[in-house]
Structure 1
Amino acid sequence: MSYVVYLAAAALGLSGVLLFRRPRNPLVLSTSVAITLGALVFLCSAPLTLAAVNDLTGIPNFGAPLTYGMITAYSCALLILLTHWRGGSRARVRRLVLRSVAAYTLLVVAIIVLFAHADADTERLRDLDTYYANTPYMREMILLYLLGHSAATLVMAAVCVRWAREVTGLLRTGLRLIVLGAMVDVTGFQLAKYTAVAARWTGHDLDTLSTNVAPPMASLAGLLCAAGFVLPRLLPSLTAHWRGLTDYRRLTPLWSLLRHVSTSPKPPTSWWDLPPTRLHWREVCIHDALLALAPYFDDRIRAHAHAAALRAGASPHQARVTAEAAMVTDAARRAAAREAPLDRPSAHRLHATEASGTSDLVELSQALHHPLPPAARREDTARTTPEPEEPHVA
């Protein structure tokens, strides 16, 4: 059981680290704090951790108020995060945050005081809630932390349900994940705990709900809520990185053709650079190389390839891209062979160098996969092969 809980803690902790990039942003900070506290809750509640804390302090069951205090702080952090997420005037946000902090600070103090007055000398690592369900002060402490967590969860779910009706896209998806996580928490963790404790009060034994059902449900709920908070903020960034990596790879044919152009700078990047950075430098190098090849651009190559592509059934757009790819390929071949630039190079400006964004460069790069149309190749061969001289008549 400890290893499952540790896995959930690691997943939550990683999410918090990924988000913690702009600590001065209240929303980012509150999100990272809430997710990190959730990770600490799972870390502290694992039986191995509880045993280590009890041994370290020399106080039996000291891990219980520590875990309950963490759960209470996590509940408060969820409310604070929701307050920042909803926004509003600075005064209103500050007022709501202070109220949440004050209420849950008092709850943490109450948990500590109740534990200090309780008689809990028998160490219980997995079934403390039910074992001490009828013990004075421990009973109240257990009920307090459950009620505090329930209040925060229900408020969070209610706010997210109302807010989800007003928004769309990733934000709505994130809110629905939070609501789903809250419902799993309420029904799978809290209801199981309440039922098991109440069963002890009435002389029955439903401890398995508290020891075997509640922990995995709490882990699942925490992961769902974390995904709901992280998704709207992290997914756009991950999508941008993935798009950058895809475009970077799709530019490989064009870069392979142009990388040996002498005036083309080599990208000053390293393997740890993010995909958008690598893509930016590849674009810069390709643009510089195309500029250096401009004296070799031949309008006849482009015209022949364009006409051949149209005859083959290509659309005007596809024919233009194919023709420009043929002209760039020919120019790169001439430059590599150290031929002299053309006396009258083409004045045509490549669309990929005129348009903004990467999509047109990628399209030009992908066009290099297709061979030069046969008609254009025959015309190019006829143009580059010198005609035999007529015999001299004496």
Structure 2
Amino acid sequence: MSLVVYLAAFVFGMTSVLLFPRPRKAMRNPLTVSTCAAIVLGALVFVCAAPATLATVNELTGVPNFGAPLTYGMLSAYSCAVLVLLINWRGGSRERVRRGVLRTVAAYGLLVAAIVVLFVLAEADTERLTDLDTYYAGTPFMREMILLYLIGHSAAMLVMCAVCVKWGREVDGPLRTGLRLILVGALLDVVGFQAAKYTAIVARWTGHDLDVLSTTVAPPMASLAALLCSAGYLLPSAVAQWRALGDHRRLAPLWALVKPASTAPRPPTGWWQLPQVRLQWREVSIHDALLALAPYFDHRLRERVRDSALRAGRSPHAARLAAEAAMLADAARRAAAREEPPETGGTYRLHATEVSGTGGLVELAQALHRPPDGSAAADATERPSLPGSMTEPEEPHVA
């Protein structure tokens, strides 16, 4: 059983690595910090609860069952971290969030202290590695300690279920799917782990033996619940990274065209750079190049291509993109040939610089592959285009 628990701890803990790729930046985001803290504490709970760990801790400390308050305290800390995560997720004023976090930490801090005190007061000299909850269910002080950790954990999971149900109605897409996975994991924890524990303990109080629920059913249910929760935490981030990878690739034609004009510093490269980081650097570099190419914009060319595209039946937006793509290709050619800027001064903002995010740049990159038809194409190609500017480029060096 220890191997299964350690595996669950590893998978649960690896989620925090994927969510916490850039420590310096992530440390400034309370939501990211609280999410990773909850995941790491959840992984530590599994490590502490493994029979092999319990036996080692008991042997090193020389105190029978010392691993019990350690595990229960860690589980209470995890429950606290879950509530702190929900407080940061809900947001609000900084004072409100700070007050909620302090109250939660204080409450569970007292709970952990009570668990330690009750263990010290209890008579628990017989080491139990797998059935401590039921074996000591009727022992004074141990009984209260066991109930305290279960009640504290139940409160956190029930609050999480309520929040997931509420927010699941207000969001959509990957975030809603992630919330549903977290909800299923929390419900499985409540039903498969906590309910099994409560039932086995009450059975002991009434003279019955349902220890199998606590020793055989509850541990794998807790592991499965943790894996579902970790998948829910990770899913929105994973989808965002996948979309960033697609946008990064779609921007390749545009980057190949304007790369010679970019003066942005080269970003750090390496396989560990996540797609969102690569996309951010490429977006910054392209915007820098567009700023450098602005003096070479031929607005008469842009107007001719736009008018021709409109006559060919293009929508105003598509015509604007086609015109801007032709003007940008011409500007890149002029800059590469060190020609004088055209005498068509004036200020003009590309559509890609008017919208937030990478959507505008992606549209501009795609327009480079779709030159306007008819006379517009002739206008756009009055001057030879930059070699390779309208074909699939090789992957640039910058991430």
- TM-score where L is the length of structure 2: 0.71
CA distance in 2, matches of 1:377, 1:75: 64
Aligned to 1:355: 354
Retained in 2: the 8 A contact 1:150–1:186? no
Give the counterpart of 1:269 among 242, 267, 270: 267
Asked if the contact 2:251/2:365 (under 8 Å) is kept, the reply is yes
Find the aligned partners of 1:339 and 1:201 in 2 and give their Cα distance: 89
Deviation at 1:108, TM superposition (A): 2.5
Q: Residues 327-346 of structure 1: matches in 2 within 5 Å?
A: 327-336=327-336, 338=337, 340-341=339-340, 344-345=343-344
Compared with structure 1, are the counterparts of its residues 319 and 9 closer, same or farther at alpha carbon in structure 2 (3 Å cutoff)? same
Q: What is the match of residue 391 of structure 1?
A: none
- Aligned partners of 1:134 and 1:159: how far apart in 2? 26
Q: How does 1:1-394 map to 2 (within 5 A)?
A: 1-16=1-16, 18=19, 32-59=36-63, 61-78=65-82, 88=96, 94=102, 97-114=105-122, 117-121=123-127, 124-130=128-134, 132-133=135-136, 136=139, 141=142, 143-157=143-157, 159-160=159-160, 168-169=170-171, 180-199=184-203, 205-224=209-228, 230=233, 235=236, 245-261=245-261, 264-265=262-263, 267-271=265-269, 274-275=277-278, 277-291=280-294, 293-294=296-297, 297=298, 299=300, 301-336=301-336, 338=337, 340-341=339-340, 344-345=343-344, 349=348, 351-352=350-351, 355-357=354-356, 358-371=358-371, 373-378=373-378
In the superposition, relative to structure 1, how do residues 77 and 289 fare at CA in structure 2: closer, same or farther (>3 Å)?
closer
Maintained 8 Å contact 2:75/2:149:
yes
In 2, Cα distance between equivalents of 1:75 and 1:383: 67
Identity of aligned residues (%): 48
Indicate the structure (1 or 2) with the bigger Cα radius of gyration: 1
**Gaps spanning 5+ residues in structure 2: where?**
385-399
In terms of mean alpha carbon deviation, does 207-216 or 340-349 score higher? 340-349
Q: 1:390 — aligned with what?
A: none
| Aligned-residue offset at 1:40 | 1.4
Matches of 1:24 and 1:325, distance apart in 2: 39
Deviation at 1:43, TM superposition (A): 0.5
Instruction: Give the letter aligned to residue 98 of structure 1.
Output: A
* Contact kept in structure 2, 1:9 and 1:40, CA below 8 Å: yes
The question of whether the paired residues in 1 share the 8 Å contact of 2:12 and 2:39 is answered with yes
Aligned partners of 2:363 and 2:162: how far apart in 1? 44
In structure 2, what residue type is equivalent to 1:51? A
Cα distance in 1 for residues equivalent to 2:290 and 2:383: 28
TM-fit CA distance, 1:2 = 2.5
Tell me: CA distance 1:383–1:185, structure 2 relative to 1, closer, same or farther (3 Å).
Answer: closer
SS at match of 1:259: helix
Contact 1:118 1:135 in 2 (8 A): no
Letter in 1 for 2:269: W
Gaps of 5+ in 1: 385-394
Equivalent residue pairs, number: 366
Q: Is the 8 A contact 1:321 1:364 kept in 2?
A: yes
Q: Which residue of 1 aligns with 2:387?
A: none
Contact 1:306 1:323 in 2 (8 A): yes
The answer to whether the 8 Å contact 1:269/1:281 transfers is: no
Aligned equivalents of 1:305 and 1:91: distance in 2?
59
Question: Could you tell me how far apart the structure 2 residues matched to 1:282 and 1:223 are?
Answer: 39
Whether the 8 Å contact between 1:154 and 1:182 is mirrored in structure 2 is: no
Structure 2 CA distance for aligned equivalents of residues 77 and 380 of structure 1: 59
Q: Is the 8 A contact 1:161 1:179 kept in 2?
A: yes
Q: 1:227 to 1:255 in 2, by over 3 A?
A: closer
Q: Confirm or deny: 8 A CA contact 1:44 1:67 kept in the other structure.
A: yes
What's the secondary structure of 1:193's corresponding residue? helix
Distance in 2 of aligned mates of 1:204 and 1:331: 84
Determine the C-alpha separation between the residues in 1 that align with 2:306 and 2:216. Answer: 71
Q: Distance in 1 between matches of 2:371 and 2:132?
A: 73
Root-mean-square deviation over aligned CA pairs: 4.3
3-state secondary structure, aligned to 2:360: helix
CA distance in 2, matches of 1:192, 1:328: 66
Summarize deviations over 1:28-75 as a string: whole Å, max 9, x none: 666554443322111111233233334434555443343233334444
Q: Which residue of 1 aligns with 2:393?
A: none
